[in-house]
Amino acid sequence: MSDVTPTDPTSEPTIATTSTTTSALRCEGLTKAFQGVHAVNGATFDVPQGQITALIGPNGAGKTTVVNILSGSMKCDSGTEYLGEDEVTNMESFEIARLGLMRTFQLSRELGGLTVLENLLVAPKLQPGESLFNVFFRPGTVRRAEQVNVERALEILGTYGLYAVRDDRARELSGGQKKLLEIARAVMASPRILLLDEPMAGVNPALIERIGGYILALKAQGVTVLMVEHNLNVVEKICDHVIVLAEGRTLATGRLSELRANKEVVRAYLGEVIDARPPS
Amino acid sequence: MQLFWLSFGFGLVTASVLAISAVGLSLQFGITNYINFAYGDFMALGAYITYVLNNEVLHWNIWVALVCGSLAVGVIAVILSQLILSPFARRFDKTFYVLIVTFGLSLILLNVMYSIWGASVRFYNVPINRALHIGPMLLTAYQLIVMVIAVVLMIGVAVLLKTTRLGKSMRAMSDNTTLAMTSGINTKMITTITWFISGSLAGLAGSVLGLTEGNLTPAAGELFLFVIFAAVIVGGVGSIYGAMAGAVLIGLATEVSAAFINPAYKLDIAFLILILTLLFRPSGLFARSGKG
Amino acid sequence: MTAVWYYVFTLVFFLFDYFILAMGLNIQYGETGILNFAYFAFVAVGAYVTGAVSLPNSVGTGQHYIFGWGIPFPFNLLMGGIATSLLAVVLAFITLRRLRTDYLAMVLISSSLILYDICNNFVPLFNGADGLYNVPPPFASVLKLTTNSFIPFFAAVTGVIALIMWFVMSRITRSPLGRTFRAIRDDDTVAAALGKNVFRGQLKSMIIGSFYAGIGGGLIIQFSGSLNPTAWLPGETFVVFAVIIVGGVGNNVGLLVGSLLVETLLVHLTAFLPAIPGHPGLIEYIDAMLIGVFLMVMLWFRPQGVWPERPRLSATMVRLLGKRGPSVDEARVEADVSDAALNDGSRG
């Protein structure tokens, strides 16, 4: 670790709604090596409940690998992960998802053969209609659950501006629409914690603005968000808390303004960006 | 004990044929990233081309015929990959499609062979030769030569991969195609060459299989393909040296077990080892980390 | 009955039977994305079990087989279906959890060969290479059917069974379970990230599909009265794949069309062609080649099949669920219009 004392996020004077002291997600000493190369090497951090936390760091810092480990898509070599109070280290991806942690993917991974609406309808956990028994012997239960889900899905599609394309196959969407679908689908699963892997990468400024709005709205609904993000303007605007990752380790945590004052962080990552855009 | 050593000898012969074929399959798999289900038919095709050169019309010496037969399959493999397999692989990003196409290609090749040569068993035109005692083992000269060929080829492939530019490019492509492409490797060229090598090895393996078994049928290759799959998976998919090691293990296990159980079930031993591997060491016994 | 009608009803039987088989493979491959190259081995196991449970005790029949319980139709068929489902469970536990698509295909095709090897060599199981024969035709003695009247009768029975199985399959594919299968097919990582137990989903799909394979196989042995190992080499699986791909992956009605085109036109009509003198079997070889070529051409020019999978439209869903009309629609559409402009820049 560095000689910088990582800032305690909870001591931070933040706006009233987010001043909770519990962490929604916590990991300690995560490591992961690929063919001898340590992609993640002891990452340790807390994601505070009900806030928006940014995970930043230079390319190759292991951000996506961390997201993969936290969401269970990948197994770590060592370390522990807690979801609230429960240890979930190396649990299967679907088990972690059922505990309320949803993730999106850096490159949109839509379910291409399904319609946009169906993409959302897949998301609710443990639907009655997913049991063969229910399909044949409790059609009423299946239908009622389906009714609720369809209604809610159409509502979310409306919110995310995808209502008009609801019957298109997801593979036919534009890049920006796929990004929105990625988030909408995760939201449909009613997550407690949302892991967004570069939700704004490769989209135009107007859409960045909009996605930022959606994320803030989710926070207002009480969803904890951890997002990998390169764009420091976005981080500045919507994130309460920042975790800096470098070479697979947690370099520092805190508010962006504090981190700008941290020489090591600046050297590792923020350098040129900060010089170009002094805090306003 | 004598029985054991006898079957051990046969095991080494099977292992040699398996090693040649498994390396051919693995090389191509590493580069193109899909399995060629027509590989067994490439083998049988090689055996029959060798047969034609050796028996019908030309009456060439078996070894000359064998070399020409192998190279011919190499050329055929290049043509088929260019005309059929590569276009499908490029067009559809799901592996499904191209796998079904190789499966279909296998059906076509098999029935082409049936149409031309019929279903009856054929024999190479080679003098019957007496078995020689090699220590406790009893092997024909052909079987010995096949073993020598296998060893030389395996060393050859290892040298090719380790020292030559072609081999290094192949390894790079096998690890990461996109990266290899961006670092200036002519991936198209490498793919073509790989298909040629893979096809030639298939043709050779098919011919020597016919030679060591003493007969050939169009379906022989397909049957053998499953043993190759077992060797490749047991050795660790994507690893050339794993394929070699898997070939030796499966070759010995099937033949040695045939001395003690009903030989009709010897292939099932290969399958049993495959299942045990999957259950307890799914990445293969000799796998490097990486692909898979 | 003339020979022509005899053939027509034989074709009708195979049309319906392959429709059932195609539905089974379609839920595995078309809906869930499991490339089951061993499919026809499941069909064979279903046929053997159906045959062996309906035959009388093997003592004195001149055949060797297990079971021999004299179980009547259609219970023997159900037992065949259940047996193949059990086989699917065993194979799924060995392979599905550990292997990606292509290795899975390799191991499955190897398994089919081993099953073949065992059935062919281990005589006490299903009479070895001779296979089972003299399997009693259902209802023949009760209804006093002759060889001639049995064929149209059984073709009709198969049609009814196919209809029931089509109804059941449609319920499954249109349910949320079917949707989860398709999610697994399209991207299993995403499905898992959405809380779907991918292994369980694939297992369910394997079991359902294998049940269909077993029923389809059982019908074959009931129709022809016999089955031996040469009838189920790996090439047979390919014919079922051809039915699916020609008809349209993921579409049950398309499968009937595919079955009509491939099974009746390509596979069985060639039986009418005269043999080429001096070349026994040449017609069959050429036929098999043509199926391979036909499939590749189809896959290249019309990969979605003649009757493609239809997206499930929201209007249909809303109507089926009885949700009241488009109260929210207007506002939504308005919000979307600005969206179109927004997304233009990043299309692709």
Nearest CB partner across the interface for C194, out of A122, A135, A202: A122
Tokens of C336: 């979307």
**Is A202 in CB contact (< 8 Å) with chain C?**
yes
**Is C230 in CB contact (< 8 Å) with chain B?**
no
pLDDT at C122 (0 to 100): 86
pLDDT at C146 (0 to 100): 79
Residues 6+ apart with CB under 8 A from A169: A112, A113, A114, A115, A116, C311
| Chain A residue with the nearest C-alpha to that of B290 | A35
Chain B residues lying within 8 Å of A34, measured CB to CB:
289
3-state secondary structure chain B: CHHHHHHHHHHHHHHHHHHHHHHHHHHHHHHHCCCCCCHHHHHHHHHHHHHHHHCCCCCCCHHHHHHHHHHHHHHHHHHHHHHHHHHHHHHCCCHHHHHHHHHHHHHHHHHHHHHHHCCCCECCCCCCCCCEEECCEEECHHHHHHHHHHHHHHHHHHHHHHHCHHHHHHHHHHHCHHHHHHCCCCHHHHHHHHHHHHHHHHHHHHHHHHHHHCCECCCHHHHHHHHHHHHHHHHCCCCHHHHHHHHHHHHHHHHHHHCCCCHHHHHHHHHHHHHHHHHHCCCCCCCCCCCC
Grade residue A11 by pLDDT with cuts at 50, 70 and 90.
very low
The residues spanned by each domain of chain C are 3-233, 311-348
**Is C261 in CB contact (< 8 Å) with chain B?**
no
Q: Quick one: average pLDDT of C232-247?
A: 86
**Is A21 in CB contact (< 8 Å) with chain B?**
no
Tokens of B234: 């047991």
Say yes or no to pLDDT of A28 above 50: yes
Residues 6+ apart with CB under 8 A from B112: C285, C289
For chains B and C, CB pairs below 8 A equal 113
Chain B residues lying within 8 Å of C279, measured CB to CB:
115
Q: Quick one: average pLDDT of A18-41?
A: 81
CATH classification of the domain holding B273 = 1.10.3470
Q: Which domain holds residue B213?
A: 2-280
Write down the mean pLDDT value for chain B.
Answer: 88
Grade residue A8 by pLDDT with cuts at 50, 70 and 90.
very low
Tens of pLDDT, residue by residue over C219-232, are 999 999 988 888 88
Integer Cα distance of A105 and C280 in angstroms: 58
pLDDT at A270 (0 to 100): 58
pLDDT at A115 (0 to 100): 94
Say yes or no to pLDDT of C157 above 50: yes
Tens of pLDDT, residue by residue over A95-149, are 999 999 999 999 999 999 899 999 999 999 989 999 999 999 999 999 999 999 9
Q: Quick one: average pLDDT of C164-188?
A: 94
Chain B residues lying within 8 Å of A35, measured CB to CB:
289-290
**Is B289 in CB contact (< 8 Å) with chain A?**
yes
Disruptive mutation site among C29, C179, C319 for chain A (greatest number of A CBs within 10 Å): C179
Higher-pLDDT residue of B130, A42? A42
Grade residue A279 by pLDDT with cuts at 50, 70 and 90.
very low
Nearest CB partner across the interface for C333, out of A115, A126, A164: A164
Angle at C77 between CA C73 and CA C79, to 5 degrees: 115
pLDDT at A168 (0 to 100): 92
Number of domains composing chain B = 1
Separation in Å, CA C119 to CA B88, B147, C89: 36, 33, 20
Tens of pLDDT, residue by residue over C325-344, are 444 444 444 445 444 445 44
Tens of pLDDT, residue by residue over C50-67, are 999 999 887 877 888 888
Q: Quick one: average pLDDT of B275-283?
A: 82
**Is A147 in CB contact (< 8 Å) with chain C?**
yes
Disruptive mutation site among A70, A71, A114, A209 for chain C (greatest number of C CBs within 10 Å): A114
Write down the mean pLDDT value for chain C.
Answer: 85
Integer Cα distance of A186 and A182 in angstroms: 7
The DSSP symbol for A105 reads: -
pTM over 0.90: no
Nearest CB partner across the interface for C296, out of B35, B84, B230: B84
Q: Quick one: average pLDDT of C236-260?
A: 87
**Is A201 in CB contact (< 8 Å) with chain C?**
no
Tens of pLDDT, residue by residue over A168-222, are 999 999 999 999 999 999 999 999 999 999 998 888 889 999 999 999 999 999 9
| Chain B residue with the nearest C-alpha to that of C187 | B94
**Is B229 in CB contact (< 8 Å) with chain C?**
yes
| Chain A residue with the nearest C-alpha to that of C167 | A136
**Binary contact (C182, A113; C-beta < 8 A):** yes
Chains in contact with chain B (at least 3 beta-carbon pairs closer than 8 A): A, C
Grade residue B51 by pLDDT with cuts at 50, 70 and 90.
very high
Q: What is the ipTM of this complex?
A: 0.86
pLDDT at A179 (0 to 100): 93
**Binary contact (C285, B222; C-beta < 8 A):** no
Say yes or no to pLDDT of C277 above 80: no
Tens of pLDDT, residue by residue over B54-106, are 987 777 888 999 999 999 999 999 999 999 999 999 888 788 889 989 999 99
Least confident of A67-71, A84-88, A260-264: A260-264
Residue B87 covered by a domain: yes
pLDDT at B287 (0 to 100): 63
Listed ranges A140-144, B130-134, C3-7, C63-67; the one with the highest mean pLDDT? A140-144
Q: Quick one: average pLDDT of B215-229?
A: 88
